[in-house]
Chain A
Amino acid sequence: TQLLEQSPQFLSIQEGENLTVYCNSSSVFSSLQWYRQEPGEGPVLLVTVVTGGEVKKLKRLTFQFGDARKDSSLHITAAQPGDTGLYLCAGAPTGTASKLTFGTGTRLQVTL
């Protein structure tokens, strides 16, 4: 079983602060996805990173895939209350017919 550990598990910050969420594994992934889940809803895909070392930006969110494709990070600049939610990373193992493995999740709360 390929496990994805996310840290921190919980994060409570004030509006305007910066934060980084980490997603780590001992396994290599062919790609890695980040989702955000809000209460009462299903996860929504934010980004997919495919190449080792790849950096993708989505407004105030910056996603990075580790060089060895075993880890990823999500950095949020100037967090806003609308960023509140559960952030999940999901890795696609190498090889075919393998399913996405979801991380343990980071619950973020941004207060005014």
Chain B
Amino acid sequence: DSGVTQTPKHLITATGQRVTLRCSPRSGDLSVYWYQQSLDQGLQFLIQYYNGEERAKGNILERFSAQQFPDLHSELNLSSLELGDSALYFCASSADPHGTGNEKLFFGSGTQLSVL
């Protein structure tokens, strides 16, 4: 158990819909990362938050947004969903405050999103 909790574990929805994925980081970790994993693209970094503030952006579409709340949990919002958005979405947390990329990441079990 990594200590990172993601809900829901599975999500099935239709094209054009909007969904919210939730992540609770390990106790004490201030950094939260979101990754997308698909068969053809591998594990792609989407966005990082540190103590409520956006720290870094990766390959995140404009239809996607995220935020980190005062209690440090984070939500990833995916809107106007397309078939190609079907993937595993992982949240990871880290205690590293500097965001240098050397941090040790602890991953949740992921949310499997299926867009039909």
Contacts and interface: CB of A to CB of B under 8 A. Distances in A.
Contacts of B56: 97-99
Leading 3 A-B pairs by shortest Cβ distance: A42-B107, A92-B101, A102-B43
Interface residues of A, number: 24
Interface residues of B, number: 27
Interface of B: 2, 4, 33, 35, 42-45, 48, 55-56, 58, 90, 92, 98-110
Given A42-B90, A42-B108, 7 more contacts: A30-B100, A42-B109, A44-B2, A92-B102, A99-B58, A100-B105, A104-B42
Q: Which one of B35, B44, B101, B106 has the greatest number of beta carbons of chain A within 10 Å? A: B101
Contacts of B104: 33, 45, 48
A100 B107 contact: no
A103 B45 CA distance: 12
Contacts of B4: 42
A44 B107 contact: yes
Contacts of A45: 104-106
B91 to A, nearest CB: 8
B49 to A, nearest CB: 12
Contacts of A102: 35, 42-45
Contacts of A41: 107, 109-110
